[in-house]
Amino acid sequence: MTTTWDVLVIGGGVAGLSAVIAARRLGGSARLVESAPLALRGGNARHARNFRIAHAEPEFFAPGAYPEDEFLSELVRTTGGGTDAELARSLIADTTDVVDWLAGNGVRLQNPATSAIPFSRRTAFLLGGGKAMINALYQTAEKIGVVIGYDSKAKVLGRSGDGFWEVEIRNGAATERVRANALVAASGGPRALAEGLVLRGGAYSDGAWMQRMIEAGAQTIGDPASGHMVAVDARGPQVDGGIVTRITALPYGLVVDRNAIAIGLPGADSGRAHYAKWGARIAQCPEGLSFLILDSDGLRRAPPSALEPVRAETPAGLAEALGLDGVALARAFEGCKKLAGPPFFAFPMRAGLTFVHFGLAVDGHMRVKTRDGGIFPTLFAAGMIMAANILPRGYLAGLGVTLAVVSGRRAGEAAARHALA
C-alpha cells in the first residue's frame, strides 16, 4: 500500500521538526521520518542549551540588544568572509521572531533572574535544555496532525512520471512505500570519525542521506576535512556525549600529551571559545590523547564536570594513576607556574567533533542546488546538512540551533507552498 503526502521530512532534529510543523501549519499533509528510537529522538539538539538570536532591544531572556548587523559582522569575521552574506543576512533577519515562534510551539526559555547560568545578550537559554525543547516540538507536531515514524530509514527510489518522489521507508522488517510532492532533508551533516576522535552528537545522524544526494547530483559546499572540535573528557562515551563531557578549564592548569610533555596553544586564553581552539591541538597529540592537570584553585574555577577528576598528592602519584612517564611529568611540573601545590587533579582529554564544515549548497528557499548550476525544485535541505553555506569555517556559540529553526521553518514553508500550489 502506498500513501501520498504533500511534504515528507527526513530527520527528526530541530530542523526537521521546524520544517514539518511549518509545513503542516500551512495546511499540507506532513510526515516525519526519524531514524532514532523514541527515547533518543531529536538529534544533536538534545544536548543544546542556548541559541543565538538578533533582537533590537533588551528582552526578558537576554539583557541588552543584539542587532542584526552585529550578528552578521561577527559571522563574517568568524568565517573569514566565507559565509554566503546574502543568505546569512536573510536568515539572521528570520531569527528576530524565533523566540515567539518556539514559544507558540510549546518551547519555554529560562529567565536570567532565576538562573545561575551567566546570560549573554546574544543568546537565549532553553528551560530544561535541548531535550525539553525537542519534547515540546514533538508534542506540538503530533497535536497538529503530523505523522511521525521512529526507528525508520528512508530511501529515495526516484521520481514518478507526475513529479512525485517515490520513497521506501523501512522499520525493522516492515517496508512501506510513500509518495511525496516535496522532500525536506534535515538528517544532519556528514560524520567523520578518525582514530582517537570522539563524536559529540548522536549515533543516528550518519550522513547517509547527504551522500545519496551528492551521488544524485547535488552541489556541495565547504571543506570535508575541516570541522569544529572541542576538548572533551576521554572517559566519556565515543558517541552522544554532548555538552556534559566538555572540558573548559584548560587555561587554569597544565596540559601534557601522552608522553607527559607539556603542550600549549598560541593565542589560547580564557575567552568564551578557548576550548574550541584546543580541540584541533589535542587531535594532533600522540594517540589523540592529552591530560589537563589542575591544583585546588584551578579545580575550583573549573565548571562542574560529568566525571570526577583523577586525584593524587604528588606528581609521581598522578603519573602512576594516569599511566604517564613519571620523570617526564615531573619535568613538566617544574616548568609550570599555574600549579601551586597538592593535591593535584587530572582530566584525560580527547578531541570531540561537533560538526564538519561541509554540506549541500542551497538557494534562498532552501532548495538544493545541482552541480550543473540548477536546482532541485522539490528537494529542500535544512539544519546541519546545509550549515556550511553560512558557517564554512569557525564557530559561533548557539548558531547550530538557530540555523536549524530558521532554515527548517523556511524549507517547510517553501515545500508546503509548492505542494499546495
pLDDT tens readout for residues 135-160: 999 999 999 999 999 999 988 888 88
pLDDT at 195: 60
Write the CATH number for 258. 3.90.700.10
Give 302-338 pLDDT, tens digit per residue: 888 889 999 999 999 999 999 999 999 999 999 888 9
Residue 53 and residue 93: Cα distance in Å, rounded? 9
Strands (E) in 75-207, as ranges, are 123-125, 147-149, 153-159, 165-171, 174-185, 197-199
Residue 217 and residue 200: Cα distance in Å, rounded? 30
47 and 173 fall within a common domain: yes
Q: Count the Cβ atoms, other than its own, within 10 Å of residue 39.
A: 7
184 and 256 fall within a common domain: no
Last residue of a domain, one of 302, 328, 352: 352
Sign of CA pseudo-dihedral 273, 279, 280, 282: positive
275 and 297 fall within a common domain: yes
36 and 139 fall within a common domain: yes
Domains in the chain: how many in total? 2
Last residue of a domain, one of 302, 335, 352: 352
- Global model pTM greater than 0.75: yes
Query: What is the span of the domain harbouring residue 380?
Result: 2-219+361-420
Write the CATH number for 49. 3.50.50.60
The pLDDT of residue 116 is above 80: no
| Residue 7, C-alpha cell as written in the block | 511534504
319 and 395 fall within a common domain: no
**Quick one: pLDDT band at residue 62, thresholds 50, 70, 90?**
confident
200 and 328 fall within a common domain: no
Task: Tell me what the pLDDT averaged over the chain comes to.
Answer: 90
